[in-house]
Amino acid sequence: MRASEFVPDYEGMSLKISRDKDGVAIRAYGADGARELGMAEFFFDEQGRLDPQTVWVNERYHGQGIAAAMYDYLKSQGYTIVRSWDQTDAGRGFWDKHRGPEATVWETRISEGQDARTEIENMATILPGSPDEYFVRFTDQDKLGFSARQHFGRTPDIDDPGYDPLALPRPSGRPALWFYPLRTYLRGGDLFASQHPYTWLVRLRPDAWLQRVGHEGKTDAPQGKTRVGMIRQDQGVPMAIFFRPGFDVVDRWYDYSKTHSRRKQ
Please tell me the pTM assigned to this model: 0.58
If you count DSSP H runs as helices and E runs as strands, how many of each does the chain have, helices first? 4, 15
What's the CATH number for 3-106? 3.40.630.30
pLDDT at 148 over 60: no
Q: Whose CA is closest to 202, among 135, 122, 131?
A: 135
Quickly state the pLDDT bin for 263 (edges 50, 70, 90). Answer: very low
| Residue count (the chain) | 265
Integer-rounded Cα Rg, in Å, for the chain is 21
The domain ranges of the chain are 3-106, 116-258
Q: How confident is the model at residue 52 (pLDDT cuts 50, 70, 90)?
A: very high
Check residue 215 and give its pLDDT: 59
Per-residue pLDDT at 262: 40
pLDDT tens string 120-135: 887 788 788 899 999 9
Over the stretch 72-112, which tens digit does the pLDDT of each residue have? 888 878 788 888 877 777 777 788 777 767 667 776 555 44
